[in-house]
């Protein structure tokens, strides 16, 4: 394994679209959403541990989840679990690990990846990551992995790239487009020069720090002012001072859509961002009536195309429902039409207004 290769697994989100299974105090990255026997963050760690040295694997998470990370990933070095005092989106999260590593190994190459994505082809994923790490070690480049689309999905961002390659399987990025309408998504798919944005990034540490200095100068200033305390016992106190001064902004908006050295590697490795229950449905085994069932005691009678997630201790008899999401936890039962899954965030907001935080 190459000691100049690092990974930051971003694990601070709350996964509200997977409510009621995903809760504020125990979100989806720490759950076994698909019933595989491993949580999403455990699968992500295992994926990177096959080619990144263990001492170079970092987890960036909210301070309230540090104990969960320690419990689920006992092999992670305690000092490699970075605690964010507040949620400020991906730019501050990536700045934190980047400025920290810039003191340790500025020539190091860093992968930044979410903790809650599904990747089924581990071999293809490793191959693409190593290609990206090799490219950024030789070029001043910010790489994003683009997924070859299989259908006109309106829930993903899209990346347009130049058809002439800059290197083997590496292409210059032309434009980023946020979640499009179905008509535009169909046009993107037909054109052949748009890919889904996987939200997985690769770059040399020194180059992303330079990008912060150029495109997010205010954020650069607050991290640079405290970087003398990184990798010292005063690091957490420094981060407590930094985060309140940071803008809540994604790395896509803050840097990737502005920079002129952004490249893309077209990829196919069985990727899903597992953003909501329908994506879980798509990636689970189905019965002969196309029901995806997680739960050992679910009896299905004349019901089809449902996404069902039930505690193993409870017997559930399901009859007559078609195309529904049914999720049962100790204190919440959700029954929702699958085509309305994007409204779950609104339901959660209404529950917060009417019932407080008890069920969130």
| Torsions phi, psi for 294 (to 5 deg) | -115, 110
Show the tokens assigned to 112: 């930044």
DSSP 22-40: SBTTB-GGGS-TTSSSS-H
- Given pLDDT bands bounded at 50, 70 and 90, which one contains residue 313? confident
290-317 average pLDDT score: 92
pLDDT of res. 179: 80
pLDDT of res. 73: 97
- pTM here is 0.90
Q: What is the pLDDT of residues 219-256, one digit of tens each?
A: 999 999 999 999 999 999 999 999 999 999 999 999 99
Show the tokens assigned to 349: 């907001």
Report all structural domains of the chain as residue ranges with CATH numbers, in order of start.
Answer: 5-272 (3.90.550.10), 277-355 (no CATH)
| Residue 173 per-residue DSSP state | E
Residue 11: name the closest of 117, 103, 167 by CA: 117
pLDDT at residue 274 tops 90: no
């Amino acid at each position: 394994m190459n000691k100049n290769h690092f990974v930051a697994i971003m694990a601070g989100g709350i996964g509200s679209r997977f409510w009621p299974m995903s809760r504020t105090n125990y979100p989806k990255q720490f759950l076994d959403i698909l019933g595989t026997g491993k949580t999403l963050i455990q699968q992500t760690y295992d994926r990177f541990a096959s080619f990144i040295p263990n001492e170079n694997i970092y987890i960036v998470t909210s301070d309230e989840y540090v104990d969960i990370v320690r419990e689920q990933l006992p092999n992670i070095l305690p000092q490699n679990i970075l605690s964010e005092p507040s949620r400020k989106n991906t730019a501050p999260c990536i700045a934190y690990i980047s400025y920290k590593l810039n003191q340790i190994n500025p020539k190091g190459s860093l992968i930044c990846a979410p903790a809650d994505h599904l990747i089924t082809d581990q071999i293809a994923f490793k191959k693409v990551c190593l290609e990206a790490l090799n490219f950024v070690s030789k070029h001043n480049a910010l790489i994003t992995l683009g997924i070859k689309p299989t259908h006109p999905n309106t829930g993903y961002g899209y990346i347009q790239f130049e058809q002439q390659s800059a290197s083997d399987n590496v292409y210059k990025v032309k434009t980023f487009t946020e979640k499009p309408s179905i008509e535009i998504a169909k046009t993107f798919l037909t054109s052949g020069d748009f890919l889904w944005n996987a939200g997985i990034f690769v770059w040399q540490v020194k180059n992303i720090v330079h990008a912060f200095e150029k495109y997010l100068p205010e954020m650069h200033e607050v991290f640079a002012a405290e970087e003398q305390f990184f990798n010292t016992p005063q690091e957490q106190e420094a981060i407590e001072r930094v985060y309140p001064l940071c803008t809540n902004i994604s790395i896509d908006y803050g840097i990737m859509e502005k920079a002129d050295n952004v490249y893309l590697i077209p990829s196919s490795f069985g990727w899903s961002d597992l953003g909501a229950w329908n994506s879980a449905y798509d990636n689970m085994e189905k019965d002969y009536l196309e029901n995806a069932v997680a739960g050992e005691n679910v009896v299905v009678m004349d019901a089809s195309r449902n996404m069902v997630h039930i505690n193993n201790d409870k017997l559930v008899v399901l009859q007559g429902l078609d195309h529904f999401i049914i999720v049962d936890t100790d204190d919440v039962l959700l029954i929702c039409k699958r085509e309305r899954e994007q409204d779950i965030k609104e339901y959660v907001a209404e529950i917060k207004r009417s019932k407080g935080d008890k069920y969130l």
